[in-house]
Amino acid sequence: MTERVKILQGERVALALIEKEDSLLRYRHMNDLEVQQFLSVGGCLLYKEAEQDYYDHIIKNPNMRVFAICVEGKKNIGNVSLEINRKNRNAELGIAIFDKNYWSQGYGTESIQLLFKYAFEILGLHKVYLNVVANNARAA
């Protein structure tokens, strides 16, 4: 795997530009019902072609910022995103740690802290919010 283009670096994670091959990782993990139970798309089957279309959509959409959550330099363990409302200078945050080996270890928290830095210091947003599934205790 080639070196990723990192946007922000934390102590254990980096937020990197999402790449085309990330759509295959997302496709594999998003069809895991244990992963899905905590996401707003829960119960939805995702198809490989749809994931490739999703990638094409997000890289062309100026109001979307989706980053790979990378550990150990290159390994993508999930995504963190902002869906930006430029007029109101706010954004909805999205996060998914796809690789269950990295759950409940603080990687999501660190990723969100980096995303806040990007949202408030770089984009100049005023508000970032997150909608959560009621049974997702880690998001509380």
With left for phi above 0 and alpha for psi between -120 and 50, is residue 105 left, alpha or beta? alpha
pLDDT at position 2 over 80: no
pLDDT > 70: what percent of the chain? 71
More confident residue, 2 or 17: 17
Residue among 92, 72, 95 at smallest CA distance from 26: 95
pLDDT on residue 117: 97
Domain ranges of the chain: 6-139
Tell me the fold of 6-139.
Aminopeptidase (3.40.630)
Question: What is the full DSSP assignment across 12-59?
Answer: SEEEEE--TTHHHHHHHHHT-HHHHTTSTTTT----HHHHHHHHHHHH
> For 66-97, how does the pLDDT look when each residue is reduced to its tens digit (9 = 90+)?
999 999 877 899 999 999 999 999 999 999 89
